[in-house]
């Protein structure tokens, strides 16, 4: 099965015993020791207190890029490109077109006749150009 060296089996106990010893010394025997240690090894103390700065590492390596990527997809791709050229764009093109159609529908005969003649000329040019 799992053949592990005997010292590995004893290692947790040794670490626990060391920790117990240090804790007993620092908090019961000599209560000034922690403050002195912090003063002496401030850097090490902060490093341990902040859990090896793992949270910060995660934050900068994974969370920030993920947030940035999300923002890009949301603001630029979704709102800027998909919405703009998709639903909103189509809607505004339709609104624009309907305003243009209303403007052309002026009620005056000459503009109606003009549209007819322009259409006729357009159709002829298209067929002749083919």
Partner 1 sequence: MDFARSLALTAPEILISVSGLVLLMVAAWGGDKASRRISIASVAVLTACAFLTAPTLWGQAMGPDVSAFGGQHRADAFAAFAKLLIYASAGVTLIIAQPFFDKAKAMRAEFPLLVLFASLGMGMMVSAGDLLALYIGLELNSLASYVLASSLRNNERSAESGLKYFVLGSLASGILLFGMSLTYGFTGTTSFAGINAALSGGLPTGATFGLIFMLAGLAFKISAAPFHMWTPDVYEGAPTPVTTFFATASKVSALGLLMRVSFEAFGSQTQAWQQVVIFMALLSIVIGALGAIGQNNIKRLMAYSSINNVGFILIGLATATRAGASAMLVYIAIYVAMSVAGFVAVLLLRDENGEQVEAISDLAGLSKTRPWIALAMASVMFSLAGIPPLFGFWGKFVVFQAAVQADMIALAAIGIAASVIGAFYYLKVVKVMYFDEAADVVKGTGETSHTVLLVLSTLAISPLGYLGTKCLGTLADYATAALIPVG
CB 117, min distance to partner 1, A: 8
Stretch that binds partner 1, among 1-9, 39-47, 70-78, 111-119 (CB under 8 A): 111-119
53 binds partner 1 per the rule CB under 8 A: no
100 binds partner 1 per the rule CB under 8 A: yes
As given in the structure block, the two tokens for residue 114 are 């003009």
Which CB atom, from 31 or from 98, has the smaller least distance to partner 1? Answer: 98
107 binds partner 1 per the rule CB under 8 A: yes
Angle made by CA atoms 88, 92, 96, in degrees to the nearest 5: 175
Between the CA of residue 6 and those of 19, 30, 67, 86, 116, what are the distances in Å?
21, 34, 47, 68, 100
Terminal CA-CA length for the chain: 85
| Contacts with partner 1, residue ranges (CB under 8 A) | 94-95, 97-102, 104-105, 107, 109, 111-113, 115-116, 118-120, 122-124, 126-128, 130
């Amino acid at each position: 099965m799992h053949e592990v060296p005997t010292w590995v089996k004893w290692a947790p106990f040794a670490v626990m015993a060391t920790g117990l010893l240090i804790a007993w010394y620092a908090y019961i025997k000599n209560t000034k020791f922690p403050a002195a240690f912090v003063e002496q090894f401030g850097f090490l103390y902060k490093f341990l207190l902040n859990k090896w700065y793992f949270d910060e590492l995660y934050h900068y390596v994974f969370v920030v890029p993920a947030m940035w990527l999300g923002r890009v997809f949301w603001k630029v791709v979704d709102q800027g490109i998909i919405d703009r050229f998709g639903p909103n764009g189509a809607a505004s093109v339709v609104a624009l077109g309907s305003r243009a159609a209303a403007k052309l529908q002026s009620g005056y005969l000459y503009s109606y006749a003009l549209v007819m003649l322009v259409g006729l000329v357009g159709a002829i040019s298209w067929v002749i150009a083919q």
